[in-house]
């Protein structure tokens, strides 16, 4: 007979949801071009993005509230508004229909509106709030705080990669999974200054001392051997802000100029099974050389801007081993953690705050004769003990 504890694991140990509540970044700033509509999927929604007359990024549901046409298929941007291809209705940045090409009385359009998504554009990225009320975020976006990037090079990003399939919590869970750093990335762990745990600001943080070796993940044995000629010790300060956002600040040695690199890791659910992962990189402006000062003054960019693109490429490539794990992994309700792993259970408890309140509540009555709840993708199904 199945015991109650077997049939009803703690909520934080059940398969996590894919569509959770927080800020996410499904688009780069460069993906939304003035005068054009960008179609994309986010949290199972078909959405459109465009820029209004002031150049501000706007995100609306793709479905026209008038008669259900897809506004991004055949629609166009006219004077900062989206024109629906079905009946020629024009929607502004607030989602309000402000004009109908074939409507005589504009007052008849007042009830035709689609609620816009809350958007922040920062760090070369477009962030969207996903929560019970798309117009009222439960918390501010950390990157949008005034002065957050003061003293840093202009953030750069790339297209990232699709993770198909994976759960949104898998990538950030890796950050506090100590053993994976050397098993997957072949980094050397030289010490832990702060054990992974929730800090006073509510983020899940850790500070470690690592050594990175060039080419360590390469399938080519010659490149791995050559890479051993170059290794880089660094101070690794990592903060998980939410299921789809983490910040790592790496400080290199004095011999390497005490360079500081910031990588922002962004994970966004696309649909019930797949995610997108992308990195934003920036380097602190500390290179005090006459040529660098001249380049900043004349060209507006310096060595740090070039280095940020180099580090962005390295960070993106470093996900090769992770992707192999994430897209072939099964979620276990009853894992067998080791002390060397890091606080996996503590992290799962922390993640529960981002779950929708009605997702697998602890008071759910689940028949002991029925299998445990599962997500839509088999890769996320729990495995019985």
CATH value at residue 237 = 3.90.380.10
Place of tokens 């509510």: 202
Q: For residue 114, is it within any domain?
A: yes
Domain boundaries, position 119? 22-130
Residues 187 and 308 in one domain: yes
Look at the chain and report how many structural domains it folds into. Answer: 2
The reported pLDDT for the residue numbered 230 is: 79
Q: Is residue 298 part of a domain?
A: yes
Dihedral sign for Cα 138, 206, 149, 319, please. Answer: negative
Show which of 81, 96, 130 is a domain's final residue.
130
7 falls within a domain: no
Domain CATH code at residue 81: 2.102.10.10
Residue 285 falls within a domain, yes or no?
Answer: yes
Note whether 258 and 166 are same-domain residues.
yes
Question: How many Cβ atoms sit within 10 Å of the Cβ of residue 367?
Answer: 8
pLDDT tens profile 25-58:
999 999 999 999 999 999 999 999 999 999 999 9
Q: How far apart are CA 37 and CA 56, in angstroms?
A: 13
Mean pLDDT of all residues in 246-261? 91
The distance of Cα 214 from the centroid of its chain, to the nearest Å, equals 26
Mean pLDDT of the chain: 88
Domain match, 250 and 126 both: no
The whole-number pLDDT of residue 374 equals 37
- Whether residues 101 and 214 share a domain: the answer is no
Domain check: are 238 and 289 in the same one? yes
Question: Does residue 39 sit in the same domain as residue 75?
Answer: yes
Whole-number pLDDT of residue 295 = 64
pLDDT tens, 295-314?
A: 666 566 778 898 999 999 98
Both 286 and 174 in one domain: the answer is yes
Local structure of 286: helix, strand or coil: coil
Same domain, 115 and 157: no
**Residue where a domain terminates, one of 300, 326, 352:** 326
Q: Which of 50, 44, 89 is nearest to 66 (CA)?
A: 89
Q: Are residues 168 and 245 in the same domain?
A: yes
Q: 172 and 305: one domain? A: yes
Which range among 20-29, 290-299, 338-347 has the greatest average pLDDT? 20-29
Structural domain contains residue 262:
yes
> Does 215 share its domain with 320?
yes
- Same domain for 304 and 247, yes or no, is yes
Quick check: 134 pLDDT over 50? yes
Which residues, listed in sequence order, are joined to residue 281 by a DSSP beta bridge? 156, 263
- 13 within some domain: no
The reported pLDDT for the residue numbered 365 is 42
Q: Is residue 179 situated within a structural domain?
A: yes
- Domain stops at, among 301, 326, 351: 326
Residue 10 lies in a domain: no
């Amino acid at each position: 007979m199945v015991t109650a504890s077997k049939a009803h694991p703690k909520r934080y140990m059940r398969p996590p949801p894919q569509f959770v509540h927080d800020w996410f970044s499904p688009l780069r700033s460069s993906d939304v071009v003035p005068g054009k509509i960008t179609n994309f999927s986010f949290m199972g929604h078909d959405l459109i993005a465009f820029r209004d007359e002031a150049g501000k990024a706007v995100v609306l549901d793709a479905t026209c509230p008038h008669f259900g046409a897809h506004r991004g298929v055949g629609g166009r941007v006219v004077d900062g508004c989206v024109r629906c291809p079905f009946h020629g209705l024009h929607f502004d940045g607030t989602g309000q229909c402000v004009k109908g090409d074939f409507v005589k009385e504009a007052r008849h359009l007042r009830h035709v509106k689609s609620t816009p998504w809350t958007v922040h554009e920062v760090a070369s990225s477009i962030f969207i709030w996903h929560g019970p009320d798309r117009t009222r975020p439960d918390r501010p976006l950390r990157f949008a705080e005034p002065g957050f990037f003061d003293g840093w090079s202009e953030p750069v990003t790339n297209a990232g990669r699709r993770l198909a399939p994976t759960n949104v919590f898998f990538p950030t869970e890796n950050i506090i999974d100590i053993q994976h750093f050397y098993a997957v990335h072949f980094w050397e762990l030289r010490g832990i200054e702060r054990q992974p745990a929730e800090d006073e600001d509510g983020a899940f943080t850790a500070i470690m001392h690592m050594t990175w070796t060039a080419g360590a993940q390469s399938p080519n044995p010659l490149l791995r051997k050559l890479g051993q000629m170059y290794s880089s010790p660094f101070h690794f300060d990592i903060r998980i802000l939410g299921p789809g956002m983490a910040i790592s600040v790496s400080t290199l040695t004095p011999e390497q100029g005490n360079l500081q690199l910031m990588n922002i890791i962004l994970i966004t659910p696309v649909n019930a099974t797949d995610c997108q992962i992308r990195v934003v990189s920036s380097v602190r402006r500390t290179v005090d050389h006459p040529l660098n000062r001249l380049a900043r003054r004349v060209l507006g960019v310096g060595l740090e801007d070039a280095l940020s693109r180099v580090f962005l490429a390295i960070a993106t490539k470093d996900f090769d081993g992770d992707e192999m794990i994430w897209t072939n992994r099964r979620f276990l309700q009853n894992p067998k953690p080791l002390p060397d792993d890091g606080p996996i259970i503590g992290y799962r408890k922390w993640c529960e705050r981002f779950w929708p309140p009605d997702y697998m509540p602890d008071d759910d009555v689940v028949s002991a004769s029925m299998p445990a709840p599962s997500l839509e993708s088999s890769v996320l199904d729990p495995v019985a003990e």
